[in-house]
Structure 1
Amino acid sequence: MNKILNVKNIEKYYRNKGSLTKAVDNISFEVENGEYIGIMGASGSGKTTLLNCISTIDTITAGNIYIDSNDITKMDEDELSKFRREKLGFIFQDFNLLDTLNAHDNIALALAITGTKSKEIDLRINNIASKLGIKEILNKYPYEMSGGQKQRVACARAIITKPSLILADEPTGALDSKSARMFLENLEVLNEELKATILMVTHDAFTASYCKRILFIKDGKIFNELVRGNDTRKEFFDKIIKVISILGGDNQHVF
C-alpha cells in the first residue's frame, strides 16, 4: 500500500505571556492509502493541534509532514493554497456550507474553482449524491436541511475533488444520535466503496468505533494505539472505552 500521510517527529510550541507550551511532543505515525484513522484524547491533549498542523491550518515548530510524498512543511502560502485545493478534503463540526448556495452548488464549488467542465461536475455530483442518499436535496439551501443532511452534503463536498486525504474535525459534534449514525455510515461508504483515506479527530467513543485504527493522544504524545482488526464495532467500542477510562476522557454515545 502507498503511504498517504507520513508524520515524522513533529513538535508544536505555543508562546503565551512569557511561557512556552508544548502542544505536540515528537509525534510520528503513518497512514496508508484507504485507511480510516481516528485520533482521540482528552481536551487539551493536542489532538486538534495535530490535526491543524496536518491540514496546513497551523505550522509546526519542528519535524516534517509528508502528504502524497509532498513535504507540506516546506511549502509557501501559494503552494499550500493549491495543495489544500487539490489534495485535501475537509469535514467540519459546523458544516461550513455557504448559505447563499444550494447543496449542488456547495458541492460543485471546489470543482468549479479548478476549472472542471459543468458536465463533469454534474456527473460527479450525481454519482456521489446517489451513494450518500442526498439526490433529493441537491436543490435545497442549508436553511432547508437538517443537521444530518448538511453533514452529508459536507461529506460530498469533501470527496468530490478526489483528494488524497479527508480530514474530519469532530464531524458528529453537532448531530443527534440518529443523524450521527447515518453520517458515520456514509463515511464508511466513502472509505470502503470510494477508497477514501480518512483521518478523523473525535472525543466520542461511538464515533471512533467506526474507524479501523485509533491513535490516542495524551500530553502531546501518542499514548496508545488500537487496531480494530476482526472486532465487531461493539467489541472495538468496548476497547476504546477502556483506553478512555485510563486517559480520563469522556464519551457521548453508547451502543
Structure 2
Amino acid sequence: MITQKRVLAVVAAGLFTISLGIAQEMSVEESYLQESIENMIIREQSQADGRDTKLVALEYIADAINHGNTSEDVRTALEYLSLEGLTNQVRENGRLMNNFPDVRARAAAYLGEIGTPEAKNTLLKIMLAETEPMVLTEAVKSLAKIGLNDNEETANTISWVVTRFDVLNPDNLLALSALEAFEILAQKNGGLKDPSAVRTILRIADGHYIKPVQDRARQLIFDLRQYSK
C-alpha cells in the first residue's frame, strides 16, 4: 500500500526533476521562479515526518548547493533538520519519535558548504544543543571550513563542547576535529586569543585520548607560538 509519505516523496522528486530540466535556458525571472520552486520543495520535505523523507530533503539540498543555491531558505531548512529531535521534538506516549542523529550530522556538514555568517550562527546553536559526538564532530568541521571567529565566539564554543565531553566521556574524533578547527581558525584569524581554547588543547594533550590525538595537541601548542611573535 502506498503511504502518504511515499506519495509526497514521489511528487516532490518529479517536481524537482522538472524544475532542474527547465533551468538550462531561462531568463532572470524564470531562474528566480525555478529557485523558488526548489526552495519550496526543500522546505516541505524537510518538515515532513519520517527519517527517510528528511534524507530525501538532504539530497535535494546537496543538489541545490552544488548548483549555487545557498539561499536563506536552504539555510533555514538545514537549521530545522540539524535540530530535529532536539528543539524540534515529536513525542508519542512520552517517547521521542524523531531522534535522527544521521540527519542532523548531514545537515551540519552542509551548513559548512553554505559558508555564511548565518550558517556559522546556526552551527553554534547546534553545538550548544547537541548531545551526539558524531553530530558535533560534523559541526566542528563545518565551523572550521567557514573560519569565522568573531570575538573568539567559535573557538570558545568548541572549547566548551570538548570540555563537556572530556569530563565524563572523552571522544577521540571530536577532540581531533577540535584541534584541526583550532589550527584553521588560528590561520584565518591571526592566532587564537581565547584562553579556554588553549586550555582545551592542553587538556587534550594530557588527557585520556589515544596517543596520536595527544601528539596532535602538543604539536598544535608548539605551532601556535608563532602567532605570539
Q: Under a length normalisation based on structure 2, what TM-score does the superposition of the two structures give? A: 0.32
Higher relative contact order (CA closer than 8 Å, sequence separation 6+): 1
Q: Under a length normalisation based on structure 1, what TM-score does the superposition of the two structures give? A: 0.30
Q: Name the structure where strand makes up a greater proportion of residues.
A: 1
